[in-house]
């Protein structure tokens, strides 16, 4: 496939920073010519775009662990696709690759830059899985569970947002390491999936409990021996309920706080528990732990290839539907990993 500057690349850029909830008006669609390649570059045609909660934090202009998304620049995002033109000896047309191509149909990548693009095997693992279980969300689950929570056989692990791309992997890995896995998710359909398909021991539908007391009662019934590890994706009242069930010397891996991504404060009702139960609470950013990625990706890829690790995807069709799908993700409307199919 020969592509020159005569071909246009459809992109979505950040047009304005959200004040409160994200709206479609925060994004803009544009078309740009595809530039000619220079030595060392490859042109990638994206097949899938990953939508992830971390993108919401990047849209703000405040203090964060990473630089904010620039206005009028292509939105950041993980992508998988194929190389359609190359001026790099190690990459051939037709190679399947994963990278951070952003919200656009094509990307020109400097293949000499470490980590900018990576070949993947699609014979045993579907291409889209490299944006989910065998990608950043999977490694996030692997690191938070095994390096921070460190569950021992027979201990109880609670996972919030349990049906999502990260949470679903956490629970399955916990089971593979001999722990009990209890999920918290929104709605009976998601909870049924978590238990019946993913193999969690129990799942609590937080939407069924408007009050903290009801949520606590169901959590207590599902965790009769207390909670040893919490993998936290949500924060707020759900996290409060789980903290009140934590055993002494429990571990909490803080992966996300989606309940406050629009800037709302996230109060903690009983922080004294951190002291009285001697809890270890650690937040983490998985891109800061690149040393574990090869091992994690090998284990996760093997798990997906053998069917031992299951996953589900919600797929929006076409680049123009990315903003709507992203807003849906932030509101919990996705089921499993949220992707956008670009071809």
**How many residues would you count in the chain?**
343
> pLDDT digit string (tens) for 131-155?
999 999 999 999 999 999 999 999 9
Is pTM, for the whole model, over 0.85?
Answer: yes
Backbone angles phi, psi at 332, to 5 degrees: 75, 20
Alpha-carbon distance of 49 to 129, in angstroms, equals 11
Which DSSP string do the residues of 248-307 spell out, in sequence order?
A: EEEEEEE---GGGTTS-----S-THHHHHTT-EEEE--GGG-GGGHHHHHHHHHHHHHHT
CATH C-level class of 8-132+311-341: alpha beta
Domain with CATH 3.40.50.720 in the chain: 136-287
Of the candidates 311, 331, 265, 271, the residue with the CA atom closest to the CA atom of residue 128:
311
**pLDDT at position 265, please?**
87
Q: What's the mean pLDDT in 77-84?
A: 98
Whether residue 93 is predicted with pLDDT greater than 70 in this model: the reply is yes
> Residue 134 carries which DSSP code?
T
CB atoms within 10 A of CB 178: 11
Which of 62-71, 76-85, 289-298 bottoms out in mean pLDDT, i.e. has the lowest? 62-71
Find the Cα–Cα–Cα–Cα dihedral 136, 137, 142, 145, rounded to 10°: 140
**pLDDT at position 163, please?**
96
Helix residue spans in the chain (DSSP H): 54-58, 136-143, 165-176, 188-196, 212-222, 237-243, 272-276, 293-306, 322-330
> Please, how many CA atoms are within 13 Å of residue 329, restricted to the half-sphere of its CB?
26
3-state secondary structure of 63: coil
**pLDDT at position 195, please?**
98
Q: What's the mean pLDDT in 50-68?
A: 90
Q: What's the mean pLDDT in 177-182?
A: 98
**pLDDT at position 336, please?**
94
**pLDDT at position 1, please?**
43
Of the candidates 148, 154, 158, the residue with the CA atom closest to the CA atom of residue 244:
158
Q: What are the Cα distances from residue 295, in Å, to 134, 216, 299?
A: 11, 37, 6
Q: What dotted CATH number matches 136-287?
A: 3.40.50.720
- Scanning the structure block, which residue is given the tokens 């709302």? 264
**pLDDT at position 262, please?**
80
Alpha-carbon distance of 161 to 181, in angstroms, equals 13
**Distant-in-sequence, close-in-space partners of 2: CB < 8 Å, separation ≥ 6:** 85
Specify whether the CB–CB gap between 339 and 131 falls below 8 A.
Answer: yes
Burial classification of residue 84, based on how many CB atoms lie within 10 Å of its CB (0-12 exposed, 13-18 middle, 19 or more buried): middle
Backbone angles phi, psi at 18, to 5 degrees: -65, 145
Query: How confident is the prediction for the chain on average, in pLDDT?
Result: 95
- Scanning the structure block, which residue is given the tokens 């925060």? 26
Specify whether the CB–CB gap between 76 and 322 falls below 8 A.
Answer: no
Domain with CATH 3.90.180.10 in the chain: 8-132+311-341
Whether residue 316 is predicted with pLDDT greater than 50 in this model: the reply is yes
Q: What's the mean pLDDT in 204-216?
A: 93
**pLDDT at position 3, please?**
54
Q: What's the mean pLDDT in 41-62?
A: 95
| Three-state SS annotation for 227-248 | EEEEEECCCCHHHHHHHCCEEE
> pLDDT digit string (tens) for 222-271?
999 999 999 999 999 999 999 999 999 999 999 999 888 787 889 899 99
């Amino acid at each position: 496939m020969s592509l020159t500057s005569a071909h246009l690349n459809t992109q979505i850029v950040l047009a304005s920073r959200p004040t409160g909830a994200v709206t479609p008006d925060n994004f803009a669609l544009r078309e740009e010519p595809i530039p000619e390649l220079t030595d060392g570059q490859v042109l990638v045609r994206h097949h899938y775009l990953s939508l992830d909660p971390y993108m919401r934090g990047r849209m703000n202009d405040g203090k964060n662990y990473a630089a904010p998304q620039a206005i009028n620049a292509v939105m950041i995002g993980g992508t998988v696709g194929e190389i359609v033109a190359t001026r790099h000896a190690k990459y051939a047309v037709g190679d399947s690759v994963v990278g951070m191509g952003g919200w656009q149909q094509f990307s020109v990548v400097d293949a000499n830059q470490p980590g900018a693009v990576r070949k993947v095997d699609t014979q045993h693992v579907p291409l889209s899985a490299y944006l989910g279980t065998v990608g950043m969300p999977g490694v996030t689950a692997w690191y938070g569970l095994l390096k921070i929570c460190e569950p021992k056989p027979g201990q109880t692990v609670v996972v919030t947002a349990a049906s999502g791309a990260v949470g679903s992997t956490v629970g399955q890995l916990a089971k593979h390491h001999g722990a009990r896995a209890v999920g918290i998710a929104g709605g009976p359909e998601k909870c049924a999936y978590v238990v019946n398909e993913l193999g969690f021991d129990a799942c609590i539908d937080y939407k069924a409990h408007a009050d903290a007391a009801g949520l606590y009662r169901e959590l207590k019934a599902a965790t009769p021996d207390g909670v040893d590890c919490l993998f936290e994706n949500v924060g707020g009242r759900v996290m409060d309920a789980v903290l009140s069930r934590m055993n002494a010397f429990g571990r909490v891996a803080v992966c996300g706080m989606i309940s406050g991504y629009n800037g709302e404060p996230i109060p903690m009702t009983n922080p004294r528990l951190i002291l009285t139960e001697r809890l270890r609470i650690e937040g983490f950013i998985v891109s800061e732990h690149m040393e574990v990625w090869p091992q994690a990706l090998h284990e996760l890829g093997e798990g997906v290839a053998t069917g031992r690790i299951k996953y589900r995807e919600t797929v929006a069709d076409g680049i123009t539907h990315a903003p709507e799908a992203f807003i849906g993700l932030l509101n919990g409307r996705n089921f499993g990993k949220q992707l956008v199919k670009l071809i």
